[in-house]
Structures are given as C-alpha cells and as structure tokens.
Amino acid sequence: MADSSFDIVSKVDKMEADNALNQAQKEIEQRYDFKGVGASIDWSGDKILMKASSEERVKAVLDVFQSKLVKRGISLKSFDDGEPYPSGKEYRIEGTLKNGIDQENAKKISKIIREEGPKSVKSQIQGDELRVQSKNRDDLQEVIALLRSTDLPIDVQFTNYR
C-alpha cells in the first residue's frame, strides 16, 4: 500500500486580508476618535501602511486592523507589524503578512515530529512547506493533533491530506 501524506503550509488568504483591511478603513473613517488625526490604513505594495498624526493614534489604527484580521480568521502570528516611526508630521507603522515556512521554523517543526511523533512518520522539507508521510493514516492524524497542541511561532495549515 502507498504511503499516506499531507503538507504543512503557512499561507494567508489574500482576499480575507484585503477584506479585513477594507473593514478597518471603514471603521477608521467613521470613528469619532479618529476624526482630524489623519488616520489611514492602506496597501503599500506587499506591505500594509498605517498612518496617523501621533504615536498613540497609529497604534490604535494597528489595533483596529488586528481585530479585523482575527474576525476574518487570520492568525496574528501571520501578521508582522513594525514599530511606529515618525515620518514628517505623522507617525507610521509598516506591517507584512507572512507566507511560507522559513528554513529555521521548518527544522523546528520537523524536529518536533521526529522526537514526539510516532516513529513510522517521516517529514521532509520542500521549499517553504513540509511534507509528512506515513503508511498509517492514524499516525498522520496524531501528528496533526500534536502540532495543533504545540505553540508554534507561525500559523500552520494542513493541506493535501491523502
């Protein structure tokens, strides 16, 4: 019988992120405490750029955006926000959405599977994702449960289960 397998990936749905950003824009335009402080949030290439007239206001914009991400089902582990920095008369924060598993985290996940998972399971790093294989499907389910219970530094999804 052929091996069963699944992939461990870390991807953000671009449309959901765009919806969260649009919802944050609407809330910022309508909220009273954002009137007259030049608060805005928008895409800047692949990055998300937040602006406001003071450091506290730009942090509030970040907070609104993060709450919208959570409501849209995007983990905050997938969003990397920078520190507020002054730019002219305004303060800015640049944030990025992380896609893919970097080499360091892939090695950590592979080590967890090797040390704590069933012995029949093999994991293999393939670019920015991991392939996990085993002859027994129950062992694969056990690995998924193990990784869900582990506090990983990135948000992971499990795809191509076959």
- Looking at the structure, do residues 29 and 84 belong to the same domain, yes or no? yes
Strand partners, 50: 41, 93
Distance of CA 78 to the CA centre of its chain: 1
What is the C-alpha separation between 102 and 125, in angstroms, rounded?
10
Question: What tens-digit pLDDT sequence spans the chain (162 residues)?
Answer: 568 899 999 999 999 999 999 999 999 999 999 998 899 999 998 899 999 999 999 999 999 999 999 999 999 999 999 899 998 899 999 999 999 999 999 999 999 999 998 898 999 999 898 999 999 889 999 999 999 999 988 999 999 888
- Looking at the structure, do residues 59 and 113 belong to the same domain, yes or no? no
Domain C-terminal end among 97, 113, 146? 97
Residue type, 25: Q
What is the C-alpha separation between 36 and 7, in angstroms, rounded?
48
- Looking at the structure, do residues 88 and 115 belong to the same domain, yes or no? no
What is the C-alpha separation between 121 and 3, in angstroms, rounded?
10
Domain count, the chain: 2
- Looking at the structure, do residues 92 and 121 belong to the same domain, yes or no? no
> Whole-prediction pTM value?
0.86
- Return the pLDDT at 2: 64
- Looking at the structure, do residues 88 and 20 belong to the same domain, yes or no? yes
What is the C-alpha separation between 117 and 30, in angstroms, rounded?
50
Q: Which domain holds residue 110?
A: 4-11+101-159
Buried b (16+ CB within 10 A) or exposed e, 9-39: bbbbeeeebebbbebbbebbeeeeebeebeb
